[in-house]
Amino acid sequence: MTSTIKKIGVLTSGGDAPGMNAAIRAVVRACAYYNVECIGIYRGYQGMIEGDFKEMGPRTVKNIINKGGTILKSARSKDFMTTEGRLQAYNHLKESGVDALVVIGGDGTFTGAEIFNNEFQFPIIGIPGTIDNDIYGTSHTLGYDTALNTVVEAIDKIRDTANSHNRLFFVEVMGRDAGHIALNAGIGGGAEEILIPEENLGLDRLVESLRKSKDSGKTSSIVVVAEGDKIGKNVFELKDYVEENMPDYDVRVSVLGHMQRGGAPSCFDRVLASRLGVKAVEVLLEGKTNYMVGLLADKVVLTPLEQAIKGQSRVDAELVKVSDIISI
Amino acid sequence: MTSTIKKIGVLTSGGDAPGMNAAIRAVVRACAYYNVECIGIYRGYQGMIEGDFKEMGPRTVKNIINKGGTILKSARSKDFMTTEGRLQAYNHLKESGVDALVVIGGDGTFTGAEIFNNEFQFPIIGIPGTIDNDIYGTSHTLGYDTALNTVVEAIDKIRDTANSHNRLFFVEVMGRDAGHIALNAGIGGGAEEILIPEENLGLDRLVESLRKSKDSGKTSSIVVVAEGDKIGKNVFELKDYVEENMPDYDVRVSVLGHMQRGGAPSCFDRVLASRLGVKAVEVLLEGKTNYMVGLLADKVVLTPLEQAIKGQSRVDAELVKVSDIISI
Amino acid sequence: MTSTIKKIGVLTSGGDAPGMNAAIRAVVRACAYYNVECIGIYRGYQGMIEGDFKEMGPRTVKNIINKGGTILKSARSKDFMTTEGRLQAYNHLKESGVDALVVIGGDGTFTGAEIFNNEFQFPIIGIPGTIDNDIYGTSHTLGYDTALNTVVEAIDKIRDTANSHNRLFFVEVMGRDAGHIALNAGIGGGAEEILIPEENLGLDRLVESLRKSKDSGKTSSIVVVAEGDKIGKNVFELKDYVEENMPDYDVRVSVLGHMQRGGAPSCFDRVLASRLGVKAVEVLLEGKTNYMVGLLADKVVLTPLEQAIKGQSRVDAELVKVSDIISI
Amino acid sequence: MTSTIKKIGVLTSGGDAPGMNAAIRAVVRACAYYNVECIGIYRGYQGMIEGDFKEMGPRTVKNIINKGGTILKSARSKDFMTTEGRLQAYNHLKESGVDALVVIGGDGTFTGAEIFNNEFQFPIIGIPGTIDNDIYGTSHTLGYDTALNTVVEAIDKIRDTANSHNRLFFVEVMGRDAGHIALNAGIGGGAEEILIPEENLGLDRLVESLRKSKDSGKTSSIVVVAEGDKIGKNVFELKDYVEENMPDYDVRVSVLGHMQRGGAPSCFDRVLASRLGVKAVEVLLEGKTNYMVGLLADKVVLTPLEQAIKGQSRVDAELVKVSDIISI
C-alpha cells in the first residue's frame, strides 16, 4: 500500500480488558508488515498529552498475546476534556511525527477520538475494547468472551457450595448499562434467574419464580444479577428481601468484582484482537478515518465512530427466552 | 404449540465434544417447557438399535451444563449401516412412543439421520457437535470454542519452555480435514507458522519462513500443525527435516491428542448448546424435519441436513492473511 | 484384617471443601477393599438423625474425585446438639447396622463426634476437611491447597487491572480465625502487604508501608486481608482510611467470597484425601477410635480428636518474615 | 547481617520448571533486603562462561512470580564440562565482582556447582528446580506441584472422552528415573493402573488387572505410564499388547509431553520458591556454601550438595498401596 501515513500511534484507554495486549501486538506488527513506524502511547489520552511515547517494533510485543491488562497502561484523562490538553497532545504527536492513531477502548475513548479528529483532522481508527460488550457496530468487544468464561468458572465453583448446602446464591456480575455478561454467563452458569438492566423483572415475580423453582425439586439456586439491574435494590438488599419472604431459604451473596476484567484472554479474544488490530492499520493506510473496526456476522466491518457511540448494543430477545426455557 | 409430537428422543453420536451435555440439558428442558416427554438414548444409534433408553426430566439433567463428554455416551454403530439394524431401531422407538429425534454429532451422525428419515419418515433435527468445526451451515459447532481454548492454554505452557530454551516446537492439533483449530489456535497461540489441510505451504517455504523468523530476532518459535496437513510428512518427519536443514535449531514435538476433546465447555459453547437445543425441540414441534440447527451471523438458523452434509466449511482467507502479518 | 466392624458410615459436615468427594471415594473403596460395607449419610449429623442413608459401593463413587463440594451434602444440625437428637441418630445407625463412622469436617464436626462417642462408645475417626487449614494435628486440611490456588488465580487477574491502572487493591480472602490462606496466597500472589488475624499491623504502619512501597517505584499494589484481620476495620473501611491518608492513590476493594470454597480439587488435595480416607478405614478396622487422621511431615499420622479440637494451628513465623522480605 | 559477600549471581540451568521465576524474584529481593547487589546470569553456566550478565533490582523482577519458564533462560553447557570453560566463567564472575552464586536446577546443575566450588572455592547454594521431584533432601522440587496439577487437569479432560466412549487410555507422563509424577497424578486422576520406573508390574499382571477392572463394572479406564516405566515397552507397544490380549477394549494413547513443564506456578510452588530463594541468600551471607536449600517436614532445611546429588528420592510405599486400594 502507498499512503501518506508514515507513523501510527496506538493507545489503550478506559477500563482495561483482556485482548488489549493482543490488539496492540497486532497493530505494531501490521505496521512493521506495511513498513510504517509505530509508537506506543502510555496511559491513554493522558500520556498523549504528556508525550509519554515509546517506539515499538515486532519484538517489543513478543509474549504479550496471552497477557491480560495492557502493557501501554490505561487512565482516564480530565485534561483531554480541555482544548488546551488536546492541543498539547496534538503538538506531541506532530513533534514525534505520528500522523495517525489507533485507539483501543470504549464509548468514552471513541468520544475523545471524535472530538480530537474534529479539531485537528487527525486520522483515527477505534478498536472496541471493554468487557461489557456495550458497543454498537460489533457483536463482540475485546475482553467480553474472556469475561464470560471467568464468570462461568466462578459460578461453577459457587454452585459446588450451593449444591452441597442447598443454598440460594445471588451472584453480582459487571454490566452497569448492559446485561450481556449477566445474560450469557447466567445461561452458561445454569442460573435460575437473571436480572439485567434491560428488563425489570420485579421483586414479586423474582420471589414467585424462586418458589416455583424450589417446588419443582430444585434444592439450590443461582441468581445472576447485573450491577445495573433495574429492580431498584442492590444485591444485598435483594438477599434481605428474599430471606424475609422465603424464610426456608439460606441465601448468600457473591460480588465477583474486578477479577472479571483480568486474566489471559480466550482464544476468541486473541483472534478477534489480531483481526481488528491488523484491519485498523490497513484502514488507516487506505486513508480512512473516524471508523471503528468491529465484528459483525464473523466478518470484520467498519462503523462510523459517531454511530458506534450513539447506537445501542441490545441483548438478544431470543436469549432471554432461552434462559426462561432452560431454567425450568 | 400444538403438535402431533408427544415424545422426543435425544442422542449423541460420533466423537464427543464439550457442550454436548449442555445441549442434552436444553433439549430435555425444552421438552418439559413445551409439555412433551423426553427419552435419552444411550450410545448413539447403537443404543437406539438395542433399545437402551431412559426417561429424562428437568432434574435428570441438573449439574451437567458444565461437564465435558456426554452423559448419554457415544459410539459408532456398524449395525445402523444395515437395513435390519435401522428397522430394529425404528421398532424400539415406536414401542417406546418416541415420535421424533434430536441427534447431536457430526457428518456421520447426520448421514445416518438422513437415511433413517428416508426409510421411515421419522422427524429428525440435527445439532452440530464436534470440536473440528467442519460442518457447513454453522459458524461454530459445539465444542469448537472450548477446544480452541484448550489448545491455546497448552501452547501458552509450551511457549514457556520454548522461550526458556530458545527452541522450536511443532505442536500437532486435531483437524484431519479442516484447519479451523490449527488456524485459530495458531493465531491465538502466537504461532510463527500454521500448517493446515487447506493449504500446502511446502517444506522449502517452511524452512525459509523459520529462517526468516530467526533472522528477525525471534529466539523461539511455535509451528502449529493440523493432523491433516497436506505437506505430506507427519509431525515427527517435519521435525527431522527441519533439524537437518537448520542444524542451529533445537526442535521438539508435542502432539496434544485427546485432551482437546474434553474439559468443561466454555461459556460460548454452553450458550450455543442451550440455544440450539431449545430450537431443535421448537422446530420439531413446528412439524419440520431433516434440518440442522446452527449459528450464522449470531442467529440460530436452519440448514437442510443434506446441505449440511455435502457443503464445505472453509477457513476464512482473511485469517490466513492475518496469521501471516502478525507472525512478522 | 479381622475386625468386629462390618459396616462403616461416612458423612461430611460443616462448610464444604474441595477434596471431600475424593475422601468419600477413598473411604467407600477402602471399605470394599477390606470387605466392609459402607453407608453414605446425607447432610451430616442432621441426615444421621433423620436416617437419610444410602448404600455405597466402588462404582457409586466413580467420577467424583475431581468434583468440588460433597455428593453427600453438608448441613449444620441444631438437633444434634440435643441428647434426643443424638439418641435418634444412634438408633438409626444401629437399625442400619452401621458400627463405625468416618466424619469429614472441621472443629465443629469433631466436637460433635467426641460427644457422640462419649455417649454411645461409637467408634469414630475424623478427617480434617475445611479450606481454612485451622486444625491442629495436620499440616494441611482438605481443600486448603485448592483454595490457595483459587485465590492466587484471582489475584493474578486483579493484578492485570491494578498494573494497567496503577491502582491499589484490597483483596479480602477467607479466614476468620486463621491467616493461613491470606499469608500463603498473599506471598503467592505477590502482595505488598498481608493482614492476618494473628498479627495487628496497625493502620499507621499499613499506610507507612504502602507509602514506602510507592516511593520504591511500585506503581500498583495488592493488599491481601483475611476476613478476621485484627486491625479493627473491615476491608471497605480500610479503603476509606487509606484513600483519606494517601489521596494520590486510586484504591479498590475485591471480596473474593464463596468461590474460594469450590472448584475441582488440586492434585495435592486429591492425593491427601485418598490417603486420609484409606487410613481412616484401616484405623477403624484396627479398633481405634476418637482420632483424626492428618498429615505431618508428609506422613499420615493420628491425633486424638480432643487435641485436634483444642490445639491451635499457627501460621509459620518464617513465612511472615519471607513475606516482608520479598515485598521489598 | 555482616558478611564479606557483596554481590550474588543467580542462574537457572537444566530443564525449566514453574516456580523458577518466583525463586529468581526471591533471590533478587532478598539481596536488596540485605543490601547485597544481585546479578542475573543468562542461559545457565553457558551464559556464565560468556559473561551474559545483567544487574537486577527489586523492580526488575516485578510481575514474574506467576510466570512459567525462566526469564534468565536456561541451557545445557558442554563448555562448562571443560576446565577452560569453568576458568572463563570464574574470570567473568570476578570481573563483575560477583562473589557468590545461587544456582537453580537439578542434579546436573548441582554437579556443575560442586566441581566449580572445588576448583575455585566459590560459595554456591543450590535450589532444587525440576518438575520430576527426583532430588534427595527435599520433599518437593520447584515445579513439581504445578506439573501434578497440569497432569490431573489433562487426565480429567481425557476421562471425559474415555467415559463417553467406554475406552481405555494410556497416558504417558514425564519421569524418566522417578515415578513421582505418575504415582501422584495417577492417584489424583483416578487412574486404574500406574506404571512407574520403581516397580515392574509386568505385562501379564497389567492385563489381568485391566480385566478385573472391567469385570468389576468399570466401563472406562485410565492407565498412567511414566516415561521411564520398566515394563520394557513404550506406551504405543503397551497399547498394541493390550489390544491383542483384550480385543473387547478400544485403546488409545495420549503422550502429554512438554506442556507438563510450563504454566503459571501453583500457589505452593510460588511460596516454596519464595522461601528457598530467601533462604539461599541468607545462608550465603552466613558464610555457608555447597548446600542445597530444600523443604523437609514443611521446614526449609540444608542438605550438602554432595548428598543431594548422590541420594535418591524414593516414592512412598504407602502411596503405592493407596493407589491399589482406591482403584478397586
Asked if the C-beta of C83 comes within 8 angstroms of chain A's C-beta atoms, the answer is no
Of A201-205, B219-223, C67-71, the range with the highest mean pLDDT is C67-71
Taking contacts as CB-CB distances below 8 angstroms, the residues of chain B near A189 are 65-66, 267
Taking each helix axis as running N to C, give the angle between helix C107-120 and helix C83-95, from 0 to 180 degrees, rounded to the nearest 10: 70
Which pLDDT score is estimated for C51?
97
β-pairing verdict for B291-296 and B299-304: antiparallel
Q: In the beta sheet, which residues pair with residue D86?
A: none
- Taking residue A205's Cβ as centre, other Cβ atoms within 10 Å add up to 12
Taking contacts as CB-CB distances below 8 angstroms, the residues of chain C near A253 are 257
User: Smallest CA–CA separation between D69 and chain C, in Å?
Assistant: 16
Which pLDDT score is estimated for A216?
84
Is it the case that residue B252 has pLDDT exceeding 80?
yes
Q: Which of A61, A323, A326, A328 to mutate to test the interface with B (most CBs of B within 10 A)?
A: A326
Of A246-250, B141-145, C206-210, the range with the highest mean pLDDT is B141-145
Which pLDDT score is estimated for B213?
86
The annotation status of B3 as a binding-site residue, yes or no, is no
Which pLDDT score is estimated for A200?
82
Interatomic CA distance for residues B325 and C165, integer angstroms: 30
Q: What is the per-residue pLDDT across C12-59, written as a single tens digit (0 to 9) for each? A: 999 999 999 999 999 999 999 999 999 999 999 999 999 999 999 999
Instruction: State whether residue D46 is helix, strand or coil.
Output: helix
Interatomic CA distance for residues D11 and D56, integer angstroms: 12
Interatomic CA distance for residues D244 and D246, integer angstroms: 6
Which pLDDT score is estimated for B82?
97
Which pLDDT score is estimated for B67?
97
DSSP assignments along A20-55, one per residue: HHHHHHHHHHHHHHTT-EEEEETTHHHHHHHT-EEE
Q: Searching chain A, which residue's CA lies closest to the CA of residue B140?
A: A298
Q: What is the per-residue pLDDT across A53-87, written as a single tens digit (0 to 9) for each? A: 999 999 999 999 999 999 999 998 999 999 999 99
Which pLDDT score is estimated for A228?
85
Distance of CA C102 to the CA centre of its chain: 17
The annotation status of B121 as a binding-site residue, yes or no, is no
Which pLDDT score is estimated for D180?
97
Cα C15 to Cα A132, C20, C108, D183: the distances in Å are: 34, 10, 10, 30
Which pLDDT score is estimated for D280?
98
What are chain C's partners, defined as 3 or more CB pairs within 8 angstroms? A, D
Quick one: pLDDT band at residue D230, thresholds 50, 70, 90? confident
Q: What is the per-residue pLDDT across D160-191, written as a single tens digit (0 to 9) for each? A: 999 999 899 999 999 988 899 999 999 999 99
Cα of first residue to Cα of last residue in chain B, in angstroms, is: 56
Strands laid side by side in the D37-41 sheet: D53-55, D37-41, D7-12, D100-105, D124-128, D291-296, D299-304
Check residues A202 and D193 and name the one with the higher pLDDT.
D193
Taking contacts as CB-CB distances below 8 angstroms, the residues of chain A near C262 are 156-161
Among D132, D134, D145, D269, the one annotated catalytic: D132
For residues A189 and A155, the answer to whether their CB atoms sit within 8 Å is: yes
Check residues C136 and B213 and name the one with the higher pLDDT.
C136
**Which among C142, B301, B275, B64 is positioned nearest to A159, based on CA atoms?**
B64
- Taking residue D249's Cβ as centre, other Cβ atoms within 10 Å add up to 18
Nine cell digits for residue C271: 492425593
Nearest-5° Cα angle at A90, A87 to A91? 90
Asked which of B1-5, B215-219, C200-204 is least confident by mean pLDDT, the reply is B1-5
Q: Searching chain A, which residue's CA lies closest to the CA of residue C162?
A: A69
For residues A282 and A263, the answer to whether their CB atoms sit within 8 Å is: no
Is it the case that residue D2 has pLDDT exceeding 70?
no
Interatomic CA distance for residues B148 and B266, integer angstroms: 10
**Which among C27, C25, C29, C30 is positioned nearest to C126, based on CA atoms?**
C27
Q: What is the per-residue pLDDT across B21-61, written as a single tens digit (0 to 9) for each? A: 999 999 999 999 999 999 999 999 999 999 999 999 999 99
β-pairing verdict for B37-41 and B53-55: antiparallel
Q: Amino acid identity, residue D265?
A: P
Interatomic CA distance for residues A165 and A252, integer angstroms: 11
Which pLDDT score is estimated for C2?
66
**Dihedrals φ, ψ of B172, to 5°?**
-90, 130
Interatomic CA distance for residues C130 and C15, integer angstroms: 7
**Dihedrals φ, ψ of D285, to 5°?**
-70, -25
Taking each helix axis as running N to C, give the angle between helix D180-188 and helix D144-165, from 0 to 180 degrees, rounded to the nearest 10: 50
Asked if the C-beta of A64 comes within 8 angstroms of chain C's C-beta atoms, the answer is no
For residues B258 and D253, the answer to whether their CB atoms sit within 8 Å is: no
- DSSP count for chain D of H helices, then E strands: 11, 11
Say if residue A141 is exposed, middle or buried (CB neighbours under 10 Å; 0-12, 13-18, 19+): buried
In this complex, the residue of C58, C187, C316 whose CB is nearest that of residue D270 is C187
Asked if the C-beta of C259 comes within 8 angstroms of chain A's C-beta atoms, the answer is yes
Interatomic CA distance for residues D221 and D166, integer angstroms: 8
Quick one: pLDDT band at residue D218, thresholds 50, 70, 90? confident
Q: Which of B76, B165, B261 to mutate to test the interface with D (most CBs of D within 10 A)?
A: B165
Which pLDDT score is estimated for B228?
85
Interatomic CA distance for residues D128 and D114, integer angstroms: 14
Which pLDDT score is estimated for B2?
66
Q: Searching chain C, which residue's CA lies closest to the CA of residue A152?
A: C259
Q: In the beta sheet, which residues pair with residue B12?
A: B104
Chain B and chain D share a number of CB contacts under 8 A equal to: 107
Say if residue A57 is exposed, middle or buried (CB neighbours under 10 Å; 0-12, 13-18, 19+): middle
Query: HSE-up of B96 (CA within 13 Å, CB side)?
Result: 26
Asked if the C-beta of D139 comes within 8 angstroms of chain C's C-beta atoms, the answer is yes
Q: What is the per-residue pLDDT across D133-165, written as a single tens digit (0 to 9) for each? A: 999 999 999 999 999 999 999 999 999 999 999
Helical H runs in chain C?
Answer: 20-33, 44-50, 83-95, 107-120, 144-165, 180-188, 203-215, 235-245, 267-285, 305-310, 317-326
In this complex, the residue of D26, D188, D297 whose CB is nearest that of residue C271 is D188
- Is residue D324 annotated as a catalytic residue, yes or no? no
Q: Searching chain B, which residue's CA lies closest to the CA of residue D155?
A: B259
Give per-residue burial for C57-66: e unless 16+ CB within 10 Å, then b. Answer: bbebbbbbbb
What average pLDDT does the segment A266-284 reach? 98
| Residue A315 DSSP code | P
Give chain A's mean pLDDT.
95
Task: Match 456398524 to its residue by C-alpha cell.
Answer: B78
Interatomic CA distance for residues C108 and C304, integer angstroms: 15
For residues B56 and B38, the answer to whether their CB atoms sit within 8 Å is: yes
Distance of CA D302 to the CA centre of its chain: 18
Is it the case that residue B97 has pLDDT exceeding 60?
yes
Secondary element (H or E) of residue C222: strand C221-226
Interatomic CA distance for residues C228 and D21, integer angstroms: 32
Nine cell digits for residue B95: 414401542
For residues B296 and A296, the answer to whether their CB atoms sit within 8 Å is: no
Is it the case that residue D1 has pLDDT exceeding 60?
no
Say if residue D148 is exposed, middle or buried (CB neighbours under 10 Å; 0-12, 13-18, 19+): buried
> Looking at chain B from residue 7 to 26, which residues have their Cβ under 8 Å from any Cβ of chain D?
12, 15-16, 18
- DSSP count for chain A of H helices, then E strands: 11, 11
Interatomic CA distance for residues A136 and A178, integer angstroms: 12
Q: Which of B142, B153, B259 to mutate to test the interface with D (most CBs of D within 10 A)?
A: B259
Asked if the C-beta of B220 comes within 8 angstroms of chain D's C-beta atoms, the answer is no
Cα B253 to Cα B169, C238, D15: the distances in Å are: 6, 51, 16
Asked if the C-beta of D78 comes within 8 angstroms of chain C's C-beta atoms, the answer is no
**Which among D184, D148, D175, D187 is positioned nearest to D229, based on CA atoms?**
D175
Interatomic CA distance for residues B180 and D324, integer angstroms: 42
User: Smallest CA–CA separation between B190 and chain A, in Å?
Assistant: 7
Asked if the C-beta of D319 comes within 8 angstroms of chain C's C-beta atoms, the answer is yes
Q: ipTM value, please give it.
A: 0.96
The pLDDT > 90 percentage for chain C reads 87
**Which among A82, A73, A125, A80 is positioned nearest to A103, based on CA atoms?**
A125
Nine cell digits for residue D270: 510460588
Give chain D's mean pLDDT.
95
Which pLDDT score is estimated for D248?
82
In this complex, the residue of A16, A164, A254 whose CB is nearest that of residue C160 is A16
Among B16, B52, B99, B132, the one annotated catalytic: B132
For residues C42 and C72, the answer to whether their CB atoms sit within 8 Å is: yes
Quick one: pLDDT band at residue B161, thresholds 50, 70, 90? very high
**Domains assigned to chain A:** 7-143+265-310 (3.40.50.450), 147-261 (3.40.50.460)
Interatomic CA distance for residues A292 and B273, integer angstroms: 31
Interatomic CA distance for residues C251 and C167, integer angstroms: 6
